[in-house]
Amino acid sequence: MNSFFAMGGYAGYIWPAYAVFFIVLIADFIAPSLRRRRNLRELRARLARQAARQERAPRTPSASS
Amino acid sequence: MTRPSLTAACSAVLRRDLTLAWRRRGDIAMPVLYALIVATLFPFALGPEDTLLQRIAGGVVLVTVLLAMLLALDAMFRSDIEDGSLEQLVVAPQPLALMLGMKILAHWLTTALPLIVISPLLAGMLHLPNPVIPVLMLALLLATPLLSLLGAVLVALTAGTRRSGMLLALMLLPLCVPVVIFAAGAVAAAQQGLPWLAPIAWLGAGLVLALVLAPLACAIALRIALDA
Amino acid sequence: MAKWIPLWVHKLGSPPIFYRFAGAVRPWAIAIAIVLAALALYGGLVLAPADYQQGDAYRIIFIHVPSAWMSLFIYFVMALASFIALVWRVKLAEVIAMESAPIGAAFTFVTLVTGSLWGKPMWGTWWTWDARLTSELVLLFLYLGVIGLYHAFEDRRQGARAAAFLAIIGVINVPIVHFSVNWWNTLHQGSTVRLLGPSKMVGSMLWPLLTMMAATKFYYVASLFGRARTDLLAMESGKDWVRQIAESEARP
């Protein structure tokens, strides 16, 4: 097992290379999911504010959103 | 109202831009001063040793001129966008590519030509051997219009966006790499006594291509960027 | 539109339909990518023998070459999608083009870093200015330029069109840079570093490489679909279908 990790003495190059590969790609894969959840959260908050505003103000045929 | 001829329109645009630039003569001096200052920094940074300076002189002058042009490029369309005259040009009946070509010419005349004129001074400060200086000027004569033309397309793309200065540099520099390589290659070849015509010819070919394509690309880019 | 384009292609262009389609495909794509990658890693790190010239250091090839290939492949996909977006103004093409850029930049970055880590034990230097490395570096700058330009605009669609144009200009630049750096290297004879690689690959080294290349392709699809879904939600946030999704995912 040790000789596997030692990689013939090149461990200092091989393992960081593989680490960079996986870390960068995992970050790239997860990033949009986090952004998506944040966007939906903000959208829900915005919709809630809009609904609250419409409840308070009477239904006038004005152009304001 | 009779439509003015194409040459009349071209010379009108050219004359207008040159007049506007002349009215702010101080701005013409800025890239020149910048290039002088940057070129003088190199001996301070690297030491005044003659052989070293000779080796880097050609490349330093080239990069310095490139950076000076980059700074001046940002302002190419800015004032015209702000006062709306660029949009007038876009909707004018004359072909936009040709009109933009004239604007690029005016910009090159007012920014690059002064730099080419002082390039012997820069080269002399860095101890570039005298016989090489004409080759350097020829290389700059071909490379700077290429930079103006390529830069114009990118400036048009960023027209109207904020913080465009650094972004412009980031976009332009990768496209400049071949131009720098061939221009510096010509100077280096001349310095070593080798034939320098081939890289100059490549620059010339690239320039001809850019003269035809860049104004068209610039027009497309402008339409994309202004199409709010 | 041309008659030869089937209906399902048109349908996919609609944001809510693509959103659902991408959502269905994405888990499968990443699962296949993971399985293939695991197979490739086992084959490359455990099964394949050490190279008689480079020892174990050559094993970086199993991630370096697929990354390099993807960095170029994604750029061409981006340029193609950009072309479609500019000529036919297809919203989905804009999304695909713009969301491919960060993935391509990631692969380019990985290529440069793994290449550097491979170069140090092999050539004794972290970096060399040969045509391939320099072109790859320029490619990274091109990606960053596209990403930067896209985000510089207030109006996303306008930004996408401008960045799409830049991507197309850049596509012409990559072979030019490669050619000019090649010429420059022959002029300055100093750089005689040859890019060593197993020119004839033994079967046991070849199949993990090919498997990893397939894995990265599936990864690209998975990542792209995830980014496209997020982007579509943001772009269409005023529409009803987005509102429904937002409300259905509300945590109690």
ipTM of the complex: 0.84
C198 pLDDT band, cuts 50/70/90, is very low
Q: What would the 3-class secondary structure string for B47-81 be?
A: CCCHHHHHHHHHHHHHHHHHHHHHHHHCCCCHHHH
Checking if the pLDDT of B206 tops 90, the result is yes
Number of domains in chain B: 1
Window 3-62 of A, Cβ < 8 Å to C: 4, 7-10, 13-14, 16-18, 20-21, 24-25, 27-29, 32-33, 35-36, 39-40, 43-44, 47
Mutate to test the interface with C, among A14, A26, A34 (most CBs of C within 10 A): A14
| pLDDT tier, C123 (very low <50, low <70, confident <90, very high otherwise) | confident
Measured between beta carbons, which residues in chain B are less than 8 angstroms from residue C148? Answer: 167, 170-171
Within an 8 Å CB–CB cutoff, is residue C222 touching chain A? yes
φ, ψ of residue B95 to 5 degrees: the values are -60, 125
Angle at CA C102, nearest 5°, toward B167 and C139?
A: 65
- Is the residue at B136 inside a domain? yes
Reported residue count of chain C is: 252
Q: How far apart are CA C164 and CA A57, in angstroms?
A: 44
Question: Are the Cβ atoms of B167 and C152 closer than 8 angstroms?
Answer: yes
Tokens of C144: 């960053």
Across B66-80, B184-198, C182-196, least confident range: C182-196
Q: Is residue C47 scored above 90 in pLDDT?
A: no
Reported pTM: 0.86
What region, left, alpha or beta, does residue A8 occupy, with left being phi > 0 and alpha being psi -120 to 50 degrees? Answer: left
Q: C202 or C125: which carries more pLDDT confidence?
A: C125
In DSSP terms, C51 is beta-bridged to C55
Mean residue pLDDT of chain B comes to: 89
Contacts of A1 in chain C (CB under 8 A): none
φ/ψ bin of B47: left (φ > 0), alpha (ψ from -120 to 50), beta (otherwise): left
Nearest to B163 among C152, C177, C188 (CB): C152
Kindly tell me the burial class for residue B133, based on how many C-beta atoms sit within 10 Å of its own C-beta (0-12, 13-18, 19 or more). Answer: buried
Query: Which amino acid is present at C45?
Result: L
Task: Report yes or no on B1 lying in a domain.
Answer: no
**Of the candidates B145, B202, B198, B154, the residue with the CA atom closest to the CA atom of residue B175:** B154
Model confidence over B135-163: pLDDT tens digits?
Answer: 999 999 999 999 999 999 999 988 867 76
* Sign of the alpha-carbon dihedral angle for C205, C207, C208, C214: positive
Specify the CATH architecture of the domain C26-192+202-227.
Answer: Up-down Bundle (1.20)
- The pLDDT assigned to C193 comes to 45
Determine the structural domain holding residue B116 and report its residue range: 6-226
pLDDT tens figures, A3-60: 777 777 788 888 899 999 999 999 999 999 888 888 888 888 888 898 888 888 766 6
Confidence (pLDDT) at A60: 62
Which residues 83-122 of chain C have a CB within 8 Å of chain A?
A: 102-103, 106, 109-110, 113-114, 117-118, 120-121
